[in-house]
Amino acid sequence: MQSFRKICFLLVTLTAFGASLARAEISSMDQALDIAGQQRMLSQRIVKAYLLIGQDILPDKSSIQLHDSVAQFESQLSDLEGYLKAGEMARDLKSVRKEWASFRKLATTAPNQENAAKLIQQSEELLSLTQGVTSNLEKQVAGTKGRLINISNEQGMLSQKIAMYYSAMSWNLGVSDLENDFKAAVKKYDAGLSELRKADANSEEINKALDKVISQWSFSHSGFEKMDGQDFVPFVIAMTTESMLKSMRKISDMYAGLKS
């Protein structure tokens, strides 16, 4: 298992390099907004996987997830750079690229608690920068469609952020304000899910998909309640938030398919 993890870390660099050579072509602001929103999520997903590997929780699956997420971030960042070649957003992407280089280097080291604490801090900076790109792109998408795409993608990010904070607390990292940050992310997820469910633009299919996420979210809360007694269930939270992410990914695609 240990050798498998080492192989995964080695493959990160090779796969990300290959992905950068075979960029997909972004053809619309809708698509660019969707991809930028996914970058936010990946900044949290990578750290979550790193923390799980460090605790030997789903180590093989988490190693593959980290490897794939690093490669996806690299590829998507190249896609955005190819589409947004000038102006404020191009300058913003240069800042993302610079922060990403440092973040990626740390994220692909063998996990330990000291580096995990540093990676959580770096993830906040990377998230802030990718958020800036996403917010600017949202302004370019007409009507409520841009906001719905943005919120649904943000929900995907928050599911990974919640799992990241939870995993950090279960590993006893001692990072300041972890519990408060965790509670803030949970509160924001609640608010976003409520706003999406009330959206007038929702089709019956979208509402059914959102109801599924609401059910998954309710199950996650049962794991959160155990925290008061320091009884953490990171395996359960990792699996549930993964399902929530996949469901919200489909919902985001459905919002992207709506007419403006």
Residue (of 129, 167, 145) closest to 51 by Cα position: 167
What is the Cα–Cα distance from 216 to 250, expressed in whole angstroms?
Answer: 15
User: Kindly report the CA angle at 255 between 250 and 256, in degrees rounded to 5?
Assistant: 95
Q: Residue 22: what pLDDT?
A: 43
Tens-digit pLDDT profile for residues 44-56? 999 999 999 999 9
DSSP secondary structure, 85-109, as one string: -SHHHHHHHHHHHHHHHHHHHHHTS
68-80 average pLDDT score? 97
What are the C-alpha distances in Å from 153 to residues 35, 131, 216, 248? 9, 11, 17, 7
- Amino acid identity at 105: K
**Percentages helix, strand, coil for the chain, rounded to the nearest 5?**
80, 0, 20
Residue with the two structure tokens 């609640």? 190
Residue with the two structure tokens 């093989």? 60
Q: Residue 17: what pLDDT?
A: 44
**pTM for this model (two decimals):** 0.88
What is the Cα–Cα distance from 260 to 247, expressed in whole angstroms?
Answer: 22
Q: Which two tokens stand for residue 209?
A: 């998909």
Q: Residue 87: what pLDDT?
A: 87
Q: Residue 247: what pLDDT?
A: 95
Residue (of 42, 56, 8, 43) closest to 234 by Cα position: 56
Strand positions, DSSP E, 59-194: none
Which of 1-5, 126-130, 157-161, 218-222 shows the lowest mean pLDDT across its residues? 1-5
